[in-house]
Amino acid sequence: MEGGCTCGAVRYRLESAPMFVNCCHCRWCQRETGSAFVINAIIEASRVTLLKGAVEVIDTPSLSGKGQRISRCPACHVALWSNYSGAGPKIHFVRAGTLDDPDAFPPNAFVFTDSKQPWVVLPPHIPAFPDYYDMKTLWPAESLARRAVAKGE
Ligand SMILES: [Zn+2]
Ligand SMILES: [Zn+2]
């Protein structure tokens, strides 16, 4: 599964399916995308291969107050993935809309639905949370194991 920015200067490949996919409705993601939510495919940094170009890493404030680092194309500045302080640099939150097939990884959970835009109607078969969730109870065991390996725990 490949993806890239709008101008084509940066291309990447996901070497496997993500561990989990969050659809975040927080106000911060709304502002950063200029849209109603962001879709983050959470995957090990080691499974994201840069095929072309290099990313520019921009330190950006985050809801937690601890900041996030957004990797962007240095030419067109489209955001490709984020790294958050909690998950650390070894876990990428890849913006699923930058995949060549953005439909490939639908959300496994909706988060921060307290600030969901009122016209967005969530499908009932996907779990939704007013803020965040307990990863250990929601993520599949296989994904938790992958995450632990990636973080060196
Ligand atoms: Zn670009
Ligand atoms: Zn968010």
Give pLDDT tens digits for 87-108: 899 999 999 999 999 999 999 9
Q: Would the pLDDT of 65 be above 90?
A: no
Hey, what long-range contacts does 27-32 have (CB within 8 A, 24 or more apart)? Answer: 27/63, 27/115, 28/61, 28/62, 28/63, 29/112, 30/115, 30/117, 32/60, 32/70, 32/79
Average pLDDT, the chain: 96
Q: How far does residue 110's CA lie from ligand 2's centre (Å)?
A: 10
Q: How far does residue 30's CA lie from ligand 1's centre (Å)?
A: 21
* Residue 62 pLDDT grade (very low, low, confident, very high; cuts 50, 70, 90): confident
Task: Output the pTM of the full model.
Answer: 0.96
**Nearby residues for ligand 2 (ion, Cβ within 5 Å):** 24, 26, 29
From the CA of 79, the nearest ligand is 1
